[in-house]
Amino acid sequence: MIPRYTRPEMAAIWSEENKFCRWLDVEIAALEGWSKIGVVPAITVEKIKKKAKVDVARIQEIEKVTNHDVIAFVEQVSRTVGEEGRYIHYGMTSSDVLDTSLALLLRESGGILLGDIKVLLATLKDNALRFKDKVVMGRTHGVHAEPVTLGFRFAGWYYEFLRNYKRLENAIDEISVGKISGAVGTFSNIDPRVEKYVCKKFSLQNERFSTQVISRDRHCYFINVLAVIAASCEKVALQIRLLQQTEVGEVAEPFGKGQKGSSAMPHKRNPILCERICGLARVIKKNASVAMENTSLWYERDISHSSAERIIFPESLMLLDYILTLLNRVLNGLDVFDTNIERNIAMSGRVFFSQKLLNALAMKGLPREKAYEMVQRKSFEAIRTKKDFVQLVKNDPSIRAYLSEKEMDRIFDTKLLLKNLDKLFEEMQ
């Protein structure tokens, strides 16, 4: 991933240096496992642990000849150890190292994302409670519907990311699996006790009946959970972009001192952060499709998944780490414009009371179809003439015949329209 969209902690996990160090960790753990069952002398393992060093540049030089990164790694590390290097990779196949170390990298990366979501959850909850009484216009199909509150929107996002947190926990558990079972997974050249030892050391599950690789349904699930979380980030960012449109203007993402919106038009304040979130989320969602394709491999394994995984795992994890952090920054610095909110509510002429009125007339004994026609006629009149819907209704004899002034006042009370939200917010606290 390009540095522009990469945070240092996540980048460090996916560095070449760290990757090879995790490979070495797995190799040494396997040697310890062999030692526990008396195959490799314990003193030899200790010598290897002291001498073994990773040299990324040298590995890359060797790979130019071998055209095989694991062989290049084993050769380089073995040479740093000396005579004892002959034990390294004993009985193992490349994927024993690759898949087990990949599980460690994915679990560590997932832990960072869980931390990101925790921070975002705190921001969402804080804003939900802060704006729980801030009435705004609700829209369906982009058209004014009924009022909601700004806090109501934040609360919905909060619970969505709570679900995402649980999904990611499950995905991390799903991917925390190791495999040290040899060329086709049958333990033909390695003792199952070695795998058991390695997995226990790293707190991984043992993959049951692996082939040469850990089954890619696990990896597919993990990436797809990342895609779901990215889609949630995109959803929130898109809402802010819509609300920042000039004709709406209810909120705006932060705009820093000295920031410029357009190279040509100095008046522009563009939602570039939210647009960036939406754009990067698309990359993660597309990577989920690649993970789906990687699930089907030839027989006990081919290598078609490998090249793609070198891209989709670090890319998706780095991007999601970045956009979760960026979204939190946006929501922490969100500008809210009360004047525009009030203007937009008034714009509809209070036609949002139409369902309340429809229900009241139906309860008075009117056939629903007739009541609907009466209310729709007044609603369209209010919209066409830009007059207040409530006053038009109160001045209509055909409606006054069924409802008293007091009943109408109760119907047209915005607070009563939203009264049930208080209970929801109490549960949230």
Instruction: Verify that 108 and 85 share a domain, yes or no.
Output: no
Instruction: Verify that 146 and 289 share a domain, yes or no.
Output: yes
Instruction: Verify that 57 and 98 share a domain, yes or no.
Output: no
Instruction: Verify that 155 and 79 share a domain, yes or no.
Output: no
- The domain that holds 46 is classified in CATH as 1.10.275.10
Number of domains in the chain: 3
Instruction: Verify that 9 and 109 share a domain, yes or no.
Output: no
Instruction: Verify that 50 and 103 share a domain, yes or no.
Output: no
- The domain that holds 389 is classified in CATH as 1.10.40.30
pTM listed for this prediction:
0.94
Instruction: Verify that 384 and 294 share a domain, yes or no.
Output: no
pLDDT of residue 378: 96
pLDDT of residue 262: 67
Considering the domain boundaries, does residue 365 fall inside one?
yes
Query: Burial, 138: exposed, middle or buried (Cβ in 10 Å; 0-12, 13-18, 19+)?
Result: middle
Instruction: Verify that 39 and 76 share a domain, yes or no.
Output: yes
Considering the domain boundaries, does residue 422 fall inside one?
no
- The domain that holds 166 is classified in CATH as 1.20.200.10
Instruction: Please confirm, yes or no, whether 305 is among the known catalytic residues.
Output: no
Question: Tokens standing for 325?
Answer: 């952090």
Instruction: Verify that 170 and 254 share a domain, yes or no.
Output: yes
Residue in 188, 203, 262, 398 annotated catalytic: 262
Question: Tokens standing for 2?
Answer: 């390009």
Instruction: Verify that 117 and 212 share a domain, yes or no.
Output: yes
Q: Quote the radius of gyration of the chain (alpha carbons, Å).
A: 30
Closest CA to 26 of 98, 107, 115, 90: 98
Instruction: Verify that 405 and 277 share a domain, yes or no.
Output: no
Closest CA to 252 of 319, 341, 321, 123: 341
pLDDT of residue 256: 72
Considering the domain boundaries, does residue 101 fall inside one?
yes
Can you say how many angstroms the Cα of residue 120 is from the centroid of all Cα atoms in its chain? 11
pLDDT along the chain (429 residues), means of 10: 91 97 98 97 96 97 96 97 95 96 98 98 97 96 95 97 98 98 95 98 96 95 98 98 96 82 76 96 97 92 90 97 98 97 94 96 95 96 95 95 94 90 86
Instruction: Please confirm, yes or no, whether 263 is among the known catalytic residues.
Output: no
Whole-number Å distance between alpha carbons of 121 and 244: 23
Considering the domain boundaries, does residue 424 fall inside one?
no
Range of the domain at 385: 351-411
Instruction: Verify that 68 and 120 share a domain, yes or no.
Output: no
Query: Burial, 137: exposed, middle or buried (Cβ in 10 Å; 0-12, 13-18, 19+)?
Result: buried
Domain finish residue from 69, 90, 111: 90
